[in-house]
Every structure is written in C-alpha cells, then in structure tokens.
Chain A
Amino acid sequence: MSVEKEHFQQIQKLVRWLTVTVVVFLIVTVVFVVYQHTSDQVIEPNFDSKIIVDPSKVQGAPSSELGHRSKFDSPKRIATYATASRTPLEDLQGTITPSDLHFERHHAGIPEIDPAQHELLIHGLVEKPIRLKLSDLKKYPSVSRICFIECSGNFRYGKREMTPGEVCGLTSQSEWTGVLLSTILRDLGVKPEAKWLLAEGADGALMARSVPLQEALTEAIIAYGQNGEAIRPAQGYPMRLVIPGFEGNTQIKWLRRIEVTDEPVMTREETSKYTEKVKDGKIRMMSFVMDARSIVTYPAYPKKIEKGWQELRGIAWSGRGKVTKVLVSVDNGKTWQEAHLQGPVLEKAHTAFKYMWNWDGKPTRVLSKAIDETGYEQPTYNQLVEARESRGGYHFNPVVGWDIEKSGEVYLADIKDI
C-alpha cells in the first residue's frame, strides 16, 4: 500500500513538474510573440522565402561614394594565367562589358603609371614632334565610340565542359573616349612619305606594333576614357591606342610613343607572334582586321535548360563593319533561321542577337553564324582548316555549337563535327 502511495506521489510530482514546465514554456512563448508584435523587430514574411529580411520593412543602406555589385551577383573574369584573363561572356547582359570584367592580355604585367610622370611622344615623319601629357590630350576635341577589342588568339576548345568565356572570352566591348589620332597629326603635319606608324607602350615589354597609317588615320583613337571613367590600369591607364576592328595587340596600352615612319619596324609581335601559318607552308603577317564571328551565350555550358520556350541569346561582331545577319540553327545545322538583332547595330561592335525557341526536350545542337556587311559568312572549323591547311592559330573564328542533352544539360559541341 505504502509502495503504491509512494508511486502515486512520485507520479503526482512528475505531473506537477511537467505542468510547471509547460506553463513556463507557454508563458515564454506568449511573451516572445507579444514582444515580436509590439517591438520594432522585423517580422518574417509568412511565405516560403529565402529572404531573411523583408526589404520593404526596413531602411536600406545609406548612399556612398562608390557603388558595388549585389552580393548575390558576382561575375568574375576567367583568370587562369598571370598574363591573361577572359571576359565571362555568359554572365553579361547587353553588349557593354563592365570595365572590371574587360579581358586582360599583357606581356610584362600591368604597369602602375602616374599620369603626372607619363608623356606621349609623337615623332618621326612629322613637321613638329611633340610631347603630350594626359592633361594635354584632354584639351583636344574628344570623340567617343562603342566598339569591341578582341585578341586575335581568341579560340580555345578541347573539352565539353567549357563556357563561352573560356572558348572566346578574349573579346570585350567598351565606350572609348579620347582624341582621334588624325586630329593630333593634323596639327603636327605629316610628311608625304609617311606610310606607317609604330606605337609603343610604357610597360616592361615596351610592346610595339607597326600599323598602316592610312587605316589608323581614319579611325584610331588615343583613348583615355573607358565606359565613362578613366581607362582601367589593365586596359592601358592613362592612355592607349584604340583601332576599331583591329586585333587587340595593335591597340597599344600604356601608350608612350608614336613614330610616324615609311616602313614597318617588324617587331617581334608582328613577326614571331600574331602571324599565322596558312596553306602552302606560308606565314601570314600584318593580319590586322578581326573577321566576323558569333557565339551563343545562352543556352551554353554550364547552364541547364528546361523544356519549353527559351530566348536563345548571343553576341556577334565583325572588324570589317556592321553585322548584317546572324543565322541560328536549333537542329544541328539542318535548318537556319534569322535571329533578331538588337539595334542600333554599330560598326565593329558586339551586337546582341536573340531567337525564341520552343525546346521539345529532345537532344539537339544549337549553332550560330555571323554575316557582315562585306558578305563574309563566319566559317566552320573544317572550312578554316581546309582554307588554311592549319588547325588553329591567330584569327581562328569558327562557328561554335552547344549540345543540349535530354536532361537539359548543355555542353560545348565537338568543333570538328560542325
């Protein structure tokens, strides 16, 4: 009996403790909820969301001197080597490359140049050789132009897991501001025998290229502005040559000297580099202009797509003028359709193209090819190999394709199979 009573008392004690615990818990909860409702605390939105804070219920960050990207969106250059990095074409919207995502290519690193110590010497076959500081350059009438700059060694392939940026991310587009070279040379008086100019940089490589004067005089800009601000150090601060449509290497960064001459200097960069092997054992040199080219940037590796309507997107460009047409194929080249070109279409500029496509979920291959105002049609890899008897090198601009698998995964197509 006493044992039973003891048991009963123990149970009673336990129940009492439990009751007390529950009551305490309830009180704490009620107090917490009341506190939440009565205080200025942020209230969680009552729908399933990853948003921790409802931005419409708090004050945002104050204004600041410099803007920054959203922490939820951070495109990065593909910086595999110390001497080059590529623009992530697949992460960009529109056609202007943000300056900090402009591709880099340098032969002796990026110099740090104080514009107060920097001068541009223009001499040679001119009546009046001149030394210009950045502040002098800014006194001339200015010009702005949107155009692409592309390295002529801008094609990589070899595995399926490659992004558009990895394939041909050595091209970027900016609005360049500066003074036309012709404006300055008009002042200096060019001698009649002048046919070439040598442009030289102030970097450790004293990078130098010869450029035909006639072409340079029509369009070349000595630029100091890029997308509304000073040129970035990696793009040639404080001044660089911009020759729209020409291969990137001729557009000398950190420009410190221009010599007007009657003959090309035949620097290392225009003989042992930036020349390409072509048929009959020949080597082609002075290949300045970038031929027309395009690439689909969506859908592309590493994206995965779903069955249904998609906007196929990409960029096309030509160093010889305007892109007049971009043809896309969503059936591995059996049929080709004309893509919509986003206007205004500019000369020698990245041009966005789009095509609405209803993917039926079956494996296929998407391709694009650019046609420019000269009637040039972007060739396939096999056409280039046949024409040049060479399997690569500079100025290789083949049609690129993307294989869409049943799962919706997208991979770089075998270039030899296009």
Chain B
Amino acid sequence: MIKTGAIHIMLACVVICLTYCNRADHISAVTQVQRHEANWSDGLAAYEATWPDKFEIGKSADKSFIAKWDIDVRPDGKGLPKGEGRAKNGAAVYQNKCASCHGVNGYEGPEDKLVTDSTGRNTIGNYWPYATTIFDYVRRAMPFEAPGSLTDQEVYDITAYLLYLNGIIEEEFVITEKTLPQVEMPAKKRYVLDDRRGGPEIR
C-alpha cells in the first residue's frame, strides 16, 4: 500500500515535471541580449584598486620656477606685481604698440574695439566685468605680433590708459596693485552665472 502510494507520488512528480518543462512559454522565444553599457569608465574602479598609493612621477616644482610661470592676475588682485600705472604714460605706449590694430582712439579697429563708441559693440567699458582682466590679458597675449614682450610698467600704464579712455577712471588716477582690484567696472552688475541645467526648459 505504501509502496503503491510512493509510486503514484513519483509518477505524479514526473508528470508535473515533464509538463512544466514542456510549457512553451517557459522558454522565451527571444533571448534578452545582455546590454553592455559601453561607458568609458566601465571597470575603472576595479582597475584603480590595483594602483599603488603614490606614483611619484615627475619632478617637484620649486618656488622660483613657479614664480616665473605663475602670471595670472585675479579680480582680488592676487598675482599683481607692485607698480604704478598712469594714463598719460599709457597713451604713448598705446600709440606705439596698440593703435595699429585697435585704432588711434581705441574703437577704429580693425581688431576688437576697446573703447565704447556709438556702435554699441562690446568693449572694455561696456562689457568687461573686471579691471584686473585688462592687466592679465595684455601681459599674457599682447601685442599680437610680440606677445609677452611688454614690461609690467608698460602693462600698468596701458591698463590705466584704457580705463581712462572708457571713462572709468580720471586721467590722474594712479593704478596700483591696490587700486586696480577696486576699480568698479560698469558691466559687472549684468553678469549672471550659467543657469542652464538640462531638462525641458530652454534657457
């Protein structure tokens, strides 16, 4: 009796098993293809875990080397050398080294207008938010045919002259490492930080 019961149960199991295995919908017709993300950083974390704590590559840079290369000037004045710039002296340097590209008065071109005129085109006076940028840029990249050739004195004088031409400072105002960061540029209040964030809104 127990033996027959066991056989019946076994048979039932086999039938259920076979039925289940044969169900057509059990095996999906289309195998889902494994989607590989194909991102540049796939596996990077695991690879990073194999790196040493320090690579110790390259040569350490000493203060004098850095001082020679560190030329940028920030809105708070950091990076400005000690000096005094006067519009009157800047006029002479400007006529000599800048006027051929930017015009005798700073707006005749052929290159970028520096001084505001009736055309409304962007100039230092109506578009530049920081006065320190004039010093940074002129020292960095001007004059076009001999970039980096101006002395700090010449750069100070030109900076004073361009601010004077745009009506931002008086002719006698002395531009120094202290006064230049304090010069308020008319366009500064118009500047806003990027507000685009993706998503459906157009900005």
Chain A interface (Cβ < 8 Å from any Cβ of B): 107-108, 121-123, 128-133, 136, 139-141, 143-147, 183, 187, 198, 200, 204-206, 208, 256-257, 259, 261, 263-268, 271-272, 275, 278, 281-289, 291, 320, 343-344, 346-347, 372, 374-377, 379, 383-384, 387-388, 395
Contacts and interface: CB of A to CB of B under 8 A. Distances in A.
Interface residues of B, number: 55
A387 B203 CA distance: 6
Given A122-B61, A123-B70, A139-B55, 8 more contacts: A121-B66, A132-B59, A266-B132, A272-B122, A281-B190, A282-B190, A284-B195, A376-B198
Interface of B: 36, 38-40, 44, 47-48, 51, 54-61, 65-66, 69-76, 122, 124, 127-130, 132-133, 136-137, 140-141, 144, 147-148, 187, 190-200, 202-203
A132 to B, nearest CB: 4
A268 B88 CA distance: 24
A263 B136 CA distance: 15
Contacts of A129: 60-61, 66
B141 A285 contact: no
B61 A346 contact: no
Contact of B147 (A123, A128, A206, A343): A206
**Main DSSP-derived SS at the B contact region:** loop
B202 A145 contact: no
Closest 8 CB pairs of A and B: A374-B198, A344-B38, A268-B137, A129-B61, A287-B194, A145-B40, A132-B58, A204-B147
Given A123-B61, A205-B141, A285 B192 contact: yes
Given A131-B65, A208-B140, A283-B190, A144 B147 contact: no
A267 B72 contact: yes
Nearest to B37: A344
B196 A187 contact: no
B61 A130 contact: yes
B152 to A, nearest CB: 15
Contact of A282 (B65, B133, B192): B192
